[in-house]
Structure 1
Amino acid sequence: MSRPLRDTRAARKLFAGRALVAGVLVFLLFSVIAARLAWLQIVNHEHFATLSDQNRIRLVPVPPTRGQIFDRKGVLLAGNLASFHLEITPEQVGSHAQMEALLEQLKTLIELSDSEINRFRRLLRRSPRYNGVPLRFNLTEDEMARVAINQFRLPGVDIRNDLTRTYPLGTHMAHVVGYVGRIDEQELARLDPAEYSGSSHIGKIGVEKSYEDVLRGKVGYQQVETNAQGRVIRVLESTPPTAGRNVYLTIDSRVQRVAELALSEANFNGAIVAIDPRNGELIAMASNPSYDPNPFVNGIDAKSYKALNTSPDRPLYNRALRGMYPPGSTIKPFMGLAGLAYNAVDRYSSIFCGGYFQLPGQDHKFRDWRRGGHGRTDLDRAITESCDVYFYDLALELGIDRIGAFLGQFGFGKPTGIDLRNEKSGLLPSQDWKRRTYNQAWFPGDTVSVGIGQGYLLVTPLQLASATATLAMGGRRFQPRIVHALEDPALRRITELPAVALPSVAAPDRRIFEWVTAFMTHVVHSERGTAFRAVGKFSAYRIAGKTGTAQVFTVGQNERYDASRLKDELLDHALFMAFAPADAPRIAVAVIAENGGHGGSVAAPLAKKVMDAYLLPTNAAGAPAGASPPP
């Protein structure tokens, strides 16, 4: 049987149809590809070119050099040292699991504490993934070598060189200068990222915090080209950072050291504040005990911080700025001025002091420190011998409203306005204050207690020094300040800050300041004065001062104060305020020695050491020539 012949014509027709369909499909596919290429390369060229560049070009912040802090004479108080730190860029590491594995691997190379790792994880949550996050600061040469050798196994890990803050004088001036520390989670949430890009530290307290905007500088940027591993190949463009300005304090570090040593060698917690009454500049502001700020820079360990924070001596507490104490008898010159200003007394009017004072119709006795009393006493003798009864009587005559109005003019009861943060305001009580605070009426006995610096009245050492400076200047006031000048490090140009005058104390006769000043010189230079034995006998210049002893607890009506039977923390505070030279004041000082007992024998000699250091010429050893011998 023969086969049918193949229909070649039909076969060719079928092939041609199929080829046509295939050709159309190929054409359509190439048209889609061409359209897509045109959309990518023409329509959206700029967008994708930018993405491509960002894949190989990064904008890296360059932190500025932090300004340095000097004392008035150029002694370095806070500077910068070259150091190396380890940081990790999250986007180069990968997932969370890979990051944890990397941290475990780093633990085998360098020592990493739990606090460092926990802080790193907190910053990791807040930082962009393309920014490096610091993990460990101040790497040793050995640690850098171990990381460098293994760096090919450590994706995203880099060692950066930078400057770390250092405080070369350690505990000296720690409460004034303060310290910087790592930016914490709360600070990171509120800070402007543009201002702190690339920065890991910020001022925490003291001048470092109060002048953060001045010291910080302005961040710069580098546009860098990187390889596939994120390593920098070259810098394409650079905007240099602007260094922070240097800060010169009003403090004389030599006088400051004398103040600090005076307190520590006498073994008293407390504060000494010295001010130039002519312009409000602080000469010294010491708080004892102190602490070393250096461990705080890159994170103090938990054990050391707990020891500082729980110490009963409270070394982290700035007593000069935040401590609030009854002023005791140091308030009496101001009370005397109030009495003269309101014509409640004159310089010659007197009362009889029999050792106690009683309110009309009451049995309670407000006792004088001298059990037998002072006899017939005028304002001169009342200040010189510190007669309590005179000022009980004067306070009752004035009333709390007039006392508050007059003392308020010296800055009591409100912050002085010093250029440091976290200043306490003290307490200048009033009838309204007691009603708001205790829901009680103001009693005459409350006024009597205020008259000798007890009761509700509280002052800070800074307030007392500022008020003393105002008295020294005959009622003229200047705002206390800690910074003397700012320096542009690039131009080496120093700009001094002007003194800030405050409203003067209102007085009908300016001679009242001269009278009270004369009475205060009797405190120191008269044999009847409460500071004569400890200070006046050894002074090479005239001092106007007032001793003070402030009760820590109340002695019962029929009991006697016996220091030998009390615990140290219940002993009276010792205070002294003074200015010198009395006829042309250049320094005003306030001293508080906690639980020191007597202002004349304890606090006054401490103030004398500070005034000697400032006013007397120094010998070759640096000690004041003619300094007073110990009492």
Structure 2
Amino acid sequence: MGFPRWSRLGSDLRRAPGRVRARVTTARGRGGPSRRRSRTSHADPPRGGSCRPGRVGSRPHLRRHPRGHRGGHLLSTARSGDSGGECPLHRAAGARDISRCATSPPRHREAGGVRSLVRQPSRAFVSVRRFIAFGVAIVVIFSTLTARLYDLEIVRGDYYHQLSEQNRIVRLPVPAERGGIVDRNGYVLARNIPGFAISVIPVDLSRTREDELSQRLAALLDLPSDAIGDVIRAQRIRNPYEPVRISKTPVPREIALVVTERAELFPGVRVDPESIRFYVDGTLYAPVIGYTGPITEQELAKLKDSGYLPDDDVGRTGIEDVYEQFLRGTYGWREIERDAAQREIKTLALQRATVGNTVSLTIDDRLQKLLDAELRKGVDEDKFTQAVGVAINPQNGEILAMVSIPGYDNNMFARGISTAELAALNADDRHPLVNKAIGDRYPAGSTFKMVTGLSALSAGTATRDTVVNVSASSFSVSGTTFYDWRAHGSLDFVHGFAHSSDIYFYTLAAGTPFAPNVHGVGPDAIAKYARMLGFGAPTGIDLPGEDGGIMPDPQWKIATFDEPWTIGNTYQEAIGQGFVAVTPLQLLNAYASVANGGTLWQPHLLKQVTDAAGKTLPIPQWTSQKLDMTQENLRLIREAARRVVTIGHAYMPNLKIPIAGKTGTAEFGASAGKDSAGRNKLGFHNWFVSFVPQADNTDPTAQIAMAIFTYDSSKSLCELCLNPAVGMTQRILEQYLGPNK
């Protein structure tokens, strides 16, 4: 066999990329032994790689054949004189593996390529490096863990121990019952009854049944199913082991029974006993007592430091709102132990809650029911649109009764009012949610003549003997006609008041042709004394939502309408029409100040507060102010008011008690149909404000004063003599104060 061509060798090398440093031995030629070294390095091939060529005269070098000979046979490398130039390795390995040997003949190299002779890292060396890297990683990891453990156990051990104790031992609040509300005689008006709270424990409810449960609870509790689902999912994220309340207000026993008896339909639902606020007479006291409702987020932010919690109820309006600080109880606490899953194991300690204080009102339940029955009868039978009744003790400002019709049942709010129920109340144009005794204002009508009379008497422009000859029922000024309900003839002050002559009081206010020698007191003086009597400002009663009314004067009109005051405005003001607007309580309190001899009291409903042990607690001091009016003038008004009932406009036959008072009939803007000329007729309110002295005299001894107001209760002027409030007053006061009371 001849020498291989270098070109063939080069092609062989090209076919073995990366194996450029190869030692190549040519096959022996025909002419005898011959050996040529390549110009490449003489470095040995790596251990376990290709066969190493033998040298002439050397002893056979035993090697394990690489990969192809897995049996581990010891083979001798070929001597230079072996025939065919093939080493025994080739013969032992077979033609298939000859290409693995770098000393194979050219044909072998062509078939298998030249194997690299560059020394590569051994497997043992690689294994050592990997072992070292793995060991270093282990050391780093354990060092980090050790440092963290040291921080947790040594550096911050006390802190985390405290946290673990807090997670294991928890102090839970124990709700306190709200205090009761009673009338002046101890009759219960508001108390607590057993109710139930509906909650869901997310961990006991599979996710696949969340929607189903939300829809079922929504139908039962009249709540949006989406909102229920959101609450459950949020609690599942926060703490799935803790119950989350679904209904903010307690539910009645009937709903709780549905849940407990059909437990398979309500997975994860928990029913816990809880108090429900109950109002004994519902609609009778709703405008006064009000109701409670769930605390809002804004309120909680303000009251959190006072011990309020997210599920608390607070007073929303009425007495429940104003005296929240007395009615609210003091939370107790219960210390419990929990397991790792936050489930309660046992109670470790208990501090009982303290019930709220009992609030006693000045209201007399008996009078309240008499007043309510008469007003409801008028609304139902006589078709009044609205009716209001208020009674007060003139000697101290205590409210004895307060009725506003239409009203609402505050138990709806206590149990959780539905969306439909609330929408119906808001849509009612009679405004049943408003306490009309203090929250609505109306024209005072002829009841305001007391103010005009006192203004003229106090200013010196009129006396008891001031006479006006009302010879006609109307007169005109500057093209405007002003009317009286009849031509009365000559009237002095008492008879002008008793017969409620409009022209008489027009004359006292601004002068008329019927009494040229009488100069009117003017609008500024009327406004001055009206404000002294409490008009134009809230009375300060301990209820929310009080309106201040309107007491106009020339400056008020310019500021409000940018128009000058006219004499017509003064005439209208004198008889309680025009811009004058009062609340029933304002009007009543003004009359009460006359009945008691000249003291304007702050009206109030709170009589007493007692704690659970029966101890009386301090309450606010009620204010009063003296009227800058003479006793003579006040006595004259009381006398004239008594004549209203005995000979005048509110004549009461067979009267058993000495009632005094003043009627009022005021026009308002609602149409009452058409008159005979086709003009719109205006409807009328009716008033009767009264007080009862202890004897039939003019002494300031009255123990009760009362105002009744009926809205849209007269349809024409001819019915003025049939003021329904007069008959109501007589029946109520005779039953309340009469011999058969």
Tell me if TM exceeds 0.5: yes
1:481 and 2:604 are equivalent in the alignment: yes
Name the counterpart of 2:31. none
Q: CA separation in 1, counterparts of 2:664 and 2:690?
A: 11
Name the counterpart of 1:367. 483
Name the counterpart of 1:451. 574
Offset at 1:122? Answer: 8.3
Asked if structure 1 preserves the Cα contact closer than 8 Å seen for 2:498 and 2:644, the reply is yes
Q: CA separation in 2, counterparts of 1:449 and 1:316?
A: 31
Name the counterpart of 1:346. 463
Q: CA separation in 1, counterparts of 2:579 and 2:208?
A: 57
* Distance change in 2, residues 1:270/1:64 (3 Å): same
Counterpart of 2:315 (choices 181, 203, 211) is: 203
Q: CA separation in 1, counterparts of 2:616 and 2:432?
A: 34
1:510 counterpart letter in structure 2: Q
Asked if structure 1 preserves the Cα contact closer than 8 Å seen for 2:320 and 2:327, the reply is yes
1:316 and 2:316 are equivalent in the alignment: no
Offset at 1:358? Answer: 4.7
Equivalent residues, number: 591
Aligned counterparts, 1:112-191, within 5 A: 112-113=220-221, 115=223, 117=225, 120=228, 129=238, 132-136=243-247, 137-138=251-252, 140-146=255-261, 154=268, 157-184=269-296, 187-188=299-300, 191=303
Name the counterpart of 2:360. 248
Offset at 1:403? Answer: 0.7
2:641 counterpart letter in structure 1: M
1:512 and 2:633 are equivalent in the alignment: yes
Aligned counterparts, 1:526-605, within 5 A: 526=647, 529-532=648-651, 535=652, 537-553=653-669, 570-581=682-693, 583=699, 584-597=701-714, 598=720, 601-605=723-727
Name the counterpart of 2:583. 460
* Distance change in 2, residues 1:81/1:391 (3 Å): same
Asked if structure 1 preserves the Cα contact closer than 8 Å seen for 2:449 and 2:505, the reply is yes
1:525 counterpart letter in structure 2: T
Name the counterpart of 1:337. 454
Q: CA separation in 1, counterparts of 2:626 and 2:675?
A: 40
* Distance change in 2, residues 1:20/1:172 (3 Å): closer
Asked if structure 2 preserves the Cα contact closer than 8 Å seen for 1:428 and 1:458, the reply is yes
Q: CA separation in 2, counterparts of 1:538 and 1:101?
A: 74
Q: CA separation in 1, counterparts of 2:208 and 2:582?
A: 53
Q: CA separation in 1, counterparts of 2:546 and 2:643?
A: 33
Q: CA separation in 1, counterparts of 2:678 and 2:619?
A: 50
Asked if structure 2 preserves the Cα contact closer than 8 Å seen for 1:61 and 1:222, the reply is yes
Offset at 1:398? Answer: 1.4
Offset at 1:206? Answer: 1.3
Name the counterpart of 1:9. none
Asked if structure 1 preserves the Cα contact closer than 8 Å seen for 2:667 and 2:685, the reply is yes
SS at match of 2:415: coil
* Distance change in 2, residues 1:193/1:607 (3 Å): same
Mean Cα deviation higher: 98-107 or 133-142? 98-107
Name the counterpart of 1:382. 496
Counterpart of 1:34 (choices 146, 151, 168) is: 146
SS at match of 1:520: helix
* Distance change in 2, residues 1:341/1:37 (3 Å): same
Show CA shifts across 1:451-489 (max 9, x none): 001000011111111111111012112100011111202
SS at match of 2:246: strand
Q: For the pair shown, which has the larger CA radius of gyration, 1 or 2?
A: 2
Name the counterpart of 1:326. 443
Q: CA separation in 1, counterparts of 2:329 and 2:209?
A: 37
Asked if structure 2 preserves the Cα contact closer than 8 Å seen for 1:287 and 1:320, the reply is yes
Q: CA separation in 2, counterparts of 1:462 and 1:599?
A: 24
* Distance change in 2, residues 1:472/1:562 (3 Å): farther
Asked if structure 1 preserves the Cα contact closer than 8 Å seen for 2:710 and 2:725, the reply is yes
Name the counterpart of 1:503. 625
Show CA shifts across 1:153-187 (max 9, x none): 52xx4322110111121222121111112335654
Offset at 1:190? Answer: 5.2
1:292 counterpart letter in structure 2: D
Asked if structure 1 preserves the Cα contact closer than 8 Å seen for 2:451 and 2:526, the reply is no
Name the counterpart of 1:525. 646
Name the counterpart of 1:105. 213
Show CA shifts across 1:494-549 (max 9, x none): 34746623221102x311111111111111012xx1111xx2x2322212211111
* Distance change in 2, residues 1:16/1:329 (3 Å): closer
Q: CA separation in 2, counterparts of 1:571 and 1:15?
A: 109
Show CA shifts across 1:333-362 (max 9, x none): 2221111111010110112112346576x2
Show CA shifts across 1:292-347 (max 9, x none): 22122232222222233223443323211112111111111222111111101011
Q: CA separation in 1, counterparts of 2:685 and 2:583?
A: 13
Offset at 1:241? Answer: 3.0
2:503 counterpart letter in structure 1: V
Name the counterpart of 2:377. 265
* Distance change in 2, residues 1:422/1:319 (3 Å): same
TM-score (norm 2): 0.72
SS at match of 1:538: coil
Higher relative contact order (CA 8 A, sep 6+): 1
Asked if structure 1 preserves the Cα contact closer than 8 Å seen for 2:200 and 2:232, the reply is no
Name the counterpart of 1:10. none
Q: CA separation in 1, counterparts of 2:404 and 2:309?
A: 35
Q: CA separation in 2, counterparts of 1:564 and 1:493?
A: 68
1:311 counterpart letter in structure 2: D
* Distance change in 2, residues 1:192/1:538 (3 Å): farther
* Distance change in 2, residues 1:546/1:230 (3 Å): same
Asked if structure 1 preserves the Cα contact closer than 8 Å seen for 2:177 and 2:355, the reply is yes
* Distance change in 2, residues 1:325/1:17 (3 Å): closer
Offset at 1:413? Answer: 0.6
Q: CA separation in 2, counterparts of 1:26 and 1:523?
A: 107
Offset at 1:146? Answer: 4.5
SS at match of 2:626: coil
* Distance change in 2, residues 1:261/1:108 (3 Å): closer
Aligned counterparts, 1:53-92, within 5 A: 53-88=165-200
SS at match of 1:303: helix
1:204 counterpart letter in structure 2: R
* Distance change in 2, residues 1:337/1:39 (3 Å): same
Q: CA separation in 1, counterparts of 2:259 and 2:449?
A: 64
Mean Cα deviation higher: 219-228 or 399-408? 219-228
SS at match of 2:360: strand
Mean Cα deviation higher: 203-212 or 115-124? 115-124
* Distance change in 2, residues 1:318/1:160 (3 Å): same
Asked if structure 1 preserves the Cα contact closer than 8 Å seen for 2:214 and 2:229, the reply is no
Show CA shifts across 1:59-79 (max 9, x none): 423222111111111111111
Counterpart of 1:302 (choices 419, 437, 440) is: 419
Offset at 1:236? Answer: 3.1
Q: CA separation in 2, counterparts of 1:363 and 1:392?
A: 16
TM-score (norm 1): 0.84
Counterpart of 2:524 (choices 401, 412, 417) is: 401
Offset at 1:113? Answer: 4.8
Q: CA separation in 2, counterparts of 1:114 and 1:401?
A: 57
